């Protein structure tokens, strides 16, 4: 098997898994309990949280543990909108967002919120002028992903935050799921930010929401105080420690890992560009971990399935997207529905080997000859 779908999920780092198992075996108490075992677990939870906060450059009280980015996005969007409903019900977002953002916004629309989508330029970034045009005094929330999961486009978060600064009632949510370990994290002017460790060699079922400490949001899970008043539930100490370990490894090794991935991306672009029907959808300045392409005349699902039959794992759109529909992200940059239907995504890791890349290119050639008429 050749795994080229690392933007959907990454293999857990052995050191991360070891940290989780060691913690689960060592600390048997509930961190909320008042006995010695509970206090020991609480102290370790505080240590892990402080470590995460230091790595992200925030305060420990700004860390909210969740089950993953989908929960983090829902908590941020619904929590902000519900806490701000006395101010306004207007929300801005983009066509590039993950389905957990889109789904949350649809639910908020059913509750009376109004959602407008900001235009995307041909380079895949938010149109700042259109953002300015759409902003209103009753706009209470803007949600933009830091890195698009299908194209790998890096959004101008600082510039967006600067535009929003003139609208003090508008909170800024950033889904950084695809950004951690791939590009610099921007928190200036950001009110909430989602993080998913399973995208950077952490464990599935764990996540973070970074929330500015003076921001009040409505909880979505009720039941009492945990590590925060904003998310009830027994603190998952092992997962917290595993997040701290995965985040530390991702940030400390980011430069070396990214250089490796960039080299592989460049090699693939050079080889695949020789095929007449291949069109690259990811811009040159996208994170190198994501390479979106289309093979003209062949549906993305057909090419993906042909590769899968030969043991190659790639994706059509993000793993959580609706099947048999064109990629909204690719359509936004190409304005070509057929091209969007033909698109699929290779997503790379520093673990991707030269042997895997060579074998993938051979298999791609076979599929191309079979499917392109």
pTM as predicted: 0.94
**Residue 120 structure tokens:** 């995307």
Element (H, E) at 117: strand 114-117
- Dist. CA 60–CA 56, nearest whole Å: 10
Residues in the chain: 373
113 in catalytic set: no
Predicted local distance difference test score (pLDDT) of residue 338 = 94
Predicted local distance difference test score (pLDDT) of residue 366 = 97
In angstroms, how far is CA 169 from the centroid of its own chain? 25
Predicted local distance difference test score (pLDDT) of residue 326 = 84
Compute the average pLDDT of residues 261-287: 96
pLDDT digits 0-9 by tens, 112-140: 999 999 999 989 999 999 999 999 999 99
In the chain, the domains with their CATH numbers are: 14-252 (3.40.640.10), 254-371 (3.90.1150.10)
Banded pLDDT at 223 (limits 50, 70, 90): confident
Residue 332's SS3 state is: helix
Closest CA to 58 of 205, 247, 258: 247
**Residue 23 structure tokens:** 């913690």
pLDDT digits 0-9 by tens, 229-262: 899 999 999 999 999 999 999 999 999 999 999 9
- Dist. CA 174–CA 327, nearest whole Å: 21
pLDDT digits 0-9 by tens, 279-323: 999 998 899 999 999 999 999 999 999 999 999 999 997 555 555
pLDDT at residue 346 greater than cutoff 90: yes
Predicted local distance difference test score (pLDDT) of residue 63 = 98
Q: If you search the block for the tokens 């959580």, which residue do you land on?
A: 320
Contact 292, 326 (CB under 8 A): no
Please identify which of the residues 113, 145, 170, 320 carries the catalytic annotation: 320
Residues with Cβ within 8 Å of 143's Cβ and at least 6 positions away in sequence, in order, are 73, 76, 77, 91, 92, 93, 94, 97, 101, 105, 173, 174, 175
């Amino acid at each position: 098997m050749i795994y080229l779908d690392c933007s959907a999920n990454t293999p857990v780092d052995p050191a991360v898994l070891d940290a989780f198992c060691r913690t689960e075996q060592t600390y048997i108490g509930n961190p909320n309990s008042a006995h010695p075992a509970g206090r020991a677990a609480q102290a370790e939870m505080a240590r892990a949280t402080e470590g995460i906060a230091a790595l992200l450059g925030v305060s420990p009280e700004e860390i909210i543990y969740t089950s993953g980015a989908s929960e983090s996005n829902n908590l941020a969007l619904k929590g902000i909108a519900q806490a701000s409903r006395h101010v306004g019900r207007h929300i801005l977002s983009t066509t590039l967002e993950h389905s957990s953002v889109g789904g949350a916004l649809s639910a908020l629309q059913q509750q009376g919120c109004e959602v407008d989508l900001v235009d995307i330029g041909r380079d895949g970034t938010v149109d700042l002028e259109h953002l300015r045009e759409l902003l209103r005094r009753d706009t209470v929330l803007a949600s933009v992903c830091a890195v698009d999961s299908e194209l790998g486009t890096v959004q101008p978060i600082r510039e967006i935050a600067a535009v929003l600064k003139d609208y003090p009632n508008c909170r800024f949510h950033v889904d950084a799921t695809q950004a951690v370990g791939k590009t610099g994290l921007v928190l200036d002017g950001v009110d909430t930010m989602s993080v998913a460790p399973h995208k950077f060699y952490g464990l599935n079922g764990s996540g973070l929401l970074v929330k500015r400490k003076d921001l009040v949001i409505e909880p979505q899970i009720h039941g009492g105080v945990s590590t925060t008043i904003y998310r009830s539930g027994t603190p998952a100490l092992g997962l917290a420690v595993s997040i701290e370990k995965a985040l530390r490894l991702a940030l400390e090794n980011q430069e070396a890992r990214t250089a490796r991935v960039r080299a592989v991306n460049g090699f693939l672009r050079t080889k695949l560009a020789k095929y007449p029907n291949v069109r690259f959808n990811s811009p040159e300045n996208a994170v190198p971990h994501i390479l979106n392409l289309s093979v003209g005349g062949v549906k993305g699902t057909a090419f993906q399935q042909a590769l899968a039959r030969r043991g190659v794992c790639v994706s059509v759109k993000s793993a959580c997207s609706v099947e048999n529909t064109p990629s909204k992200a690719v359509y936004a940059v190409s304005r070509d529905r057929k091209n969007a239907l033909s698109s699929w995504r290779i997503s790379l890791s520093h673990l991707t080997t030269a042997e895997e890349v060579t074998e993938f290119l051979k298999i791609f050639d076979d599929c191309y000859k079979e499917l392109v008429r």
